Amino acid sequence: SQKIEQNSEALNIQEGKTATLTCNYTNYSPAYLQWYRQDPGRGPVFLLLIRENEKEKRKERLKVTFDTTLKQSLFHITASQPADSATYLCALEDSSASKIIFGSGTRLSIRP
Amino acid sequence: GAVVSQHPSWVICKSGTSVKIECRSLDFQATTMFWYRQFPKQSLMLMATSNEGSKATYEQGVEKDKFLINHASLTLSTLTVTSAHPEDSSFYICSARDMGRGVYNEQFFGPGTRLTVL
């Protein structure tokens, strides 16, 4: 069956450290993968999109990698800040149905 | 740009009543809008895909007669929860794709609507 898994339900790290979140998928062949941020009681906000032919993508303190062999994406926040505390969702498109499916999310907490 | 609004942001209703939620793309045209439901501490679950001018496509397990979706224009989709019951209480989120951005385009999400059925 098709699955998108974000292994850590919650992650707590010290301010200034690099946060690394993992997204694994099975039985999908996505053309691209996306990462979103969601704050409590709000809709998700798009952060980054990485295509199947891209190994790495960066945006300011954010970095995403995409390994189609391992079927895995890693999401990094460098020099983390308490304001980065939120739930982060990975999502990929089911190309056969043109719809985006979300992982379960990782709740990231950055302590001062 | 690429702003999606939802109205209302929250609603409380009595069991058995119907509630309509609007989703609008404010500064772009969206041929496709999506409706999601999110329970506390869970991820977004896709309910249906709404295409302008045609019937919505519902995900398995979602009752189309209970969750009525209308996508009458390129900027508006509505979700009506009919005969709502307490188990329908949830956070409903819509999203829209900007048809002008090509193949690899992200979805833009609305702020969500909190529905509480008493």
- Tens-digit pLDDT profile for residues A45-66: 989 999 888 999 999 999 999 9
Interface of B with A in 29-48 (CB under 8 A): 32, 34, 42-44, 46
pLDDT at A73: 96
Which position has the token pair 């009919």? B82
The pLDDT mean for chain A works out to 91
* Nearest by CB: A49 against B93, B104, B112: B104
Rounded CA-CA distance B78/B91 in Å is 15
Q: Over the range B10-20, which residues count as b (16 or more CB within 10 Å of their CB) and which as e? A: ebebeeeeebe
- In percent, the amount of chain A with pLDDT more than 70 equals 97
User: Is residue B83 within 8 Å of B18, Cβ to Cβ?
Assistant: yes
Q: Which residues of A touch B114 (CB under 8 A)?
A: 41
- Tens-digit pLDDT profile for residues A64-91: 999 999 999 999 999 999 999 999 999 9
Rounded mean pLDDT, A33-55: 92
The contacts of residue B47 (CB under 8 Å, 6+ apart) are B35, B36, B37, B58, B59, B62, B67, B79
Contact B106 A102 (CB under 8 A): no
User: Is residue B38 within 8 Å of B90, Cβ to Cβ?
Assistant: yes
**Shortest distance, CA A29 to any CA of chain B (angstroms):** 15
Coil, strand, or helix at residue A82?
helix
Question: How many interchain CB pairs under 8 A, A with B?
Answer: 47
pLDDT at A59: 94
